[in-house]
């Protein structure tokens, strides 16, 4: 069935005219990290008849009634299942839509995180029964008619994270304030992580109807988006104005969904925040998956796949995360995979060919991404130590890099290394993605650089971190005043209002705008325009052109072919 064309979309869907089809951190606030209490696999129970309060928020979905709760001026519906638990025989199979329920179901608490190893404690947390989503809407919408919908995919490198991440006294992705202040419906969703989201084996290919395996996490996200399409009207949302956005690993997933033919028509605009449009070759994922089978002592079993499905999740997690950094951080190798089904090719190649369903896209990064403690850049660096690190990491080109990023140009050698790694990992790849998107679609593309520094009174001088990885999330979800031991400044309030208006107008109209910012130009291949998101926003051109040209010509083609 053909999907109704979005009311604010004009023209073709991509240069090839693809038709839209119907549903077919901050110091410790690092969005890619996760440290939440272990939760019971029981997840969200179905309410008993006597448990439902007569004054509770109640919504009838296509699958059954859900009973939420008031959260300030918002209604919150937490832990709504969109798929059957992916356990036992459903482990490493496409998500199965959840069976309808008869009695009203309580939706008043967050679901457990998907099974993962906590970044800080290295303990196993969460449950495999984790495919749930959360919905917030204003209790009293400010406008009549259906509200725009914004759907968020959390970060965590596809190995960690959840919708209930808590940092410095803040539920980072709680959407109550965003829903009320933006007059929108907010949805956050969970998806399988690590080996549960991306295991790829020939034996799984053989049992699959498509002849491929892996990308289970992307299929989880697509099923959640189909749930939104089918049910969000019951929450006062408009299924034809759905903005999909993600940060870090979640942004990588948003980019993969843009490139996937299976996700066509499931969202109408997208924002890619501080994440890469990357995908791994299937052969690499098969090699990783075989390592997991060996680590779980299933490689030599009579039926290795049956053996793997019988292993406890904790054992599989331990087998999947054999590599650690010198600081003991977990290294994951999960993520979007070129499988020929969910992803036919590398997203950059797909975009450059125009072989996808184009939608308006915002793509951007933060000015000091790698200043976040999770990236492990030492604070006390001398100029000589900085030089040695660059020489060790880039032995063939270190002299060129030191010339482009001399320590004398920065207040601290630490900041010079942050500049190198931020450009290499975030700023310059984002230009490549913007180029490919602008070439491949007629829908507008916008680029930003988030530069705002938290300068209010706090226990730690947050200005030293600058605009680090994940810092913008406090402002998008309207939580700056909730941040423990921090006193917001007038500049914080302006940035919070600015980014709210930009993101919400993108959801409403497909064009980001704010009374606090100059007109945001669409991306131009020749001039490289971008919006500086700060207390005093500005439009500029040519973001670190010389440096990015160096990274592109020297290293870029191996990572981002097109």
Instruction: Decide if pLDDT at 30 tops 50.
Output: no
Domains and CATH numbers, the chain: 49-559 (3.40.50.1820)
With contact defined as beta carbons under 8 Å apart, do 405 and 490 qualify? Answer: no
Rounded CA separation 289/346 (Å)? 20
Instruction: Decide if pLDDT at 310 tops 70.
Output: yes
Q: What percent of the chain has pLDDT over 90?
A: 80
Reduced to 3 states (helix: H, G, I; strand: E, B; else coil), residue 431 is helix
Give the pTM.
0.89
Rounded CA separation 157/367 (Å)? 20
pLDDT in tens, 218-272: 999 999 999 999 999 999 999 999 999 999 999 999 999 999 999 999 999 999 9
Rounded CA separation 124/186 (Å)? 29
pLDDT in tens, 311-341: 999 999 989 875 444 444 555 678 999 999 9
pLDDT in tens, 150-162: 999 999 999 999 9
Q: Packing angle between helix 282-295 and helix 313-320, nearest 10 degrees?
A: 120
Reduced to 3 states (helix: H, G, I; strand: E, B; else coil), residue 435 is helix
Q: Which of 437, 381, 438, 391 is nearest to 412 (CA)?
A: 381
- Confidence class for position 179, pLDDT limits 50, 70, 90: very high
- Confidence class for position 370, pLDDT limits 50, 70, 90: very high
* Mean pLDDT of all residues in 358-367: 98
Rounded CA separation 546/29 (Å)? 32
With contact defined as beta carbons under 8 Å apart, do 58 and 69 qualify? Answer: no
How many Å from the N-terminal Cα to the C-terminal Cα in the chain? 33
Active-site residue list: 248, 369, 469
Following CA atoms 395, 397, 403, 407 in sequence, which dihedral angle do they give, to the nearest 10 degrees?
-30
- Confidence class for position 53, pLDDT limits 50, 70, 90: very low
With contact defined as beta carbons under 8 Å apart, do 69 and 44 qualify? Answer: no
Instruction: Decide if pLDDT at 45 tops 70.
Output: no
Rounded CA separation 413/279 (Å)? 33
């Amino acid at each position: 069935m053909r999907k109704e064309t979005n009311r604010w979309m004009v023209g073709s869907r991509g240069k090839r005219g693809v038709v839209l089809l119907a549903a077919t951190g901050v110091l410790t606030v690092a969005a890619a990290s996760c440290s939440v209490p272990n939760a019971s696999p029981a997840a969200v129970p179905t309410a008993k008849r006597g448990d439902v309060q007569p004054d509770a928020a109640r919504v009838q979905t296509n699958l059954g009634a859900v009973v939420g709760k008031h959260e300030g001026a918002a209604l919150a519906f937490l832990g709504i299942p969109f798929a059957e638990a992916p356990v036992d025989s459903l482990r490493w199979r496409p998500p199965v839509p959840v069976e309808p329920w008869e009695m009203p179901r309580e939706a008043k608490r967050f679901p457990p995180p998907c099974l993962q190893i906590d970044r800080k404690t290295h303990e196993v947390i969460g449950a495999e029964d984790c495919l749930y989503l959360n919905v917030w809407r204003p209790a009293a919408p400010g406008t009549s008619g259906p509200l725009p919908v914004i759907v968020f995919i959390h970060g965590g490198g596809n190995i960690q994270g959840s919708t209930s991440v808590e940092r410095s006294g803040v539920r980072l992705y709680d959407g109550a304030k965003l829903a009320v202040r933006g007059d929108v419906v907010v949805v956050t969703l969970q998806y399988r992580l690590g080996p549960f989201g991306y295991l790829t084996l020939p034996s799984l290919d053989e049992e699959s109807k498509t002849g491929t395996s892996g990308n289970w996490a992307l299929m989880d996200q697509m099923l959640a988006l189909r749930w939104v399409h089918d049910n969000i009207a019951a929450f006062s949302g408009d299924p034809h104005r759905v903005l999909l956005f993600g940060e870090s690993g979640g942004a990588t997933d948003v980019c993969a969904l843009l490139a996937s033919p299976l996700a066509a028509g499931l969202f109408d605009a997208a924002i890619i925040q501080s994440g890469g449009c990357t995908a791994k070759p299937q052969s690499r994922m098969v090699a990783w998956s075989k390592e997991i089978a060996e680590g779980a002592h299933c490689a030599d079993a009579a039926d290795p796949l049956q053996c793997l499905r019988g292993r406890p999740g904790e054992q599989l997690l331990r087998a999947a995360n054999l590599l650690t950094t010198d600081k003991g951080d977990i290294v994951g190798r999960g993520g979007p995979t070129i499988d020929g089904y969910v992803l036919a090719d590398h997203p950059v190649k797909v975009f450059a060919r125009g072989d996808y369903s184009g939608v308006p896209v915002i793509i951007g990064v933060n000015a000091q991404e790698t200043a976040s403690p999770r990236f492990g850049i030492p604070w006390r660096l001398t100029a000589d130590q900085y030089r040695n690190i660059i020489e060790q990491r880039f032995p063939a080109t270190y002299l060129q890099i030191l010339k482009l990023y001399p320590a004398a140009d920065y207040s601290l050698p630490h900041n010079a290394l942050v500049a190198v790694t931020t450009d290499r990992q975030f700023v310059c790849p984002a230009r490549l993605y913007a180029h490919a998107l602008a070439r491949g679609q007629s829908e507008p593309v916008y680029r930003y650089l988030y530069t705002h520094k938290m300068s209010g009174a706090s226990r730690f001088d947050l200005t030293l971190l600058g605009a680090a990885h994940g810092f913008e999330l406090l402002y998008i979800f309207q939580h700056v005043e909730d941040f423990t031991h921090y006193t917001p400044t007038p500049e914080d309030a302006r940035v919070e209002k600015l980014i709210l208006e930009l993101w919400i107008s993108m959801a409403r109209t497909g064009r980001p705008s704010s009374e606090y910012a100059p007109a945001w130009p669409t991306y131009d291949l020749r001039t490289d325009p971008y919006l500086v998101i700060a207390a005093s926003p500005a439009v500029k051109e040519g973001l670190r052109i010389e440096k990015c040209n160096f990274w592109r010509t020297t290293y870029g083609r191996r990572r981002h072919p097109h």
